[in-house]
Amino acid sequence: MEFDYIACILACLYFILFSFELKQFVQIFFLKNRKINYRNGIILALLLSSMLRTIFWIKVCVPNTVSNTLMMIIFYLPVWLNFCGISMLCVFYANTIYEDRYGSWPKIICIVLNIIFFTLNVTIGCLVDSPTTNQSEHRRIYLCYIY
């Protein structure tokens, strides 16, 4: 196998992103704000997402014998983490603007949607690696995921 330079560049870029987010996450502990809030949850989700993307592109750079299922889960999991961060941002906005009107409904909807999206990502990651699928089934799975 040849060395993949584009994957190496992407790994470096995601590592830079990871280091910036890690700096923000470390600053949380030096501030006098609450430790558990939406901002910290969003930063944690994006930190884990960039860490998994860095690991994925490093694994693509360096030839290895890691199973395809694990690689697909590492590839799809950051998509769910980004979705989780964006949905937490929406819940924060809904709680800030419509404090008393909806109660805990935005949080419940956020949790249910994140569970559904996480299950979808893990299922697709496992289906793509299944030995019974052929190329046309792979394309249908990818199309299901895109739409």
Span 12-57, pLDDT tens digits: 999 999 999 999 888 887 877 677 788 888 889 999 999 999 988 8
Q: Is the pLDDT of residue 147 over 50?
A: no
The residue type of 46 is L
Q: Provide the percentage of residues in the chain whose pLDDT is more than 90.
A: 14
pTM score > 0.75 for this model?
Answer: no
Q: How crowded is the C-beta side of 22, counted as CA atoms within 13 Å?
A: 8
Out of 57-66, 100-109, 133-142, pick the least confident: 133-142
Q: In whole angstroms, give the CA distance from residue 114 to residue 138.
A: 24
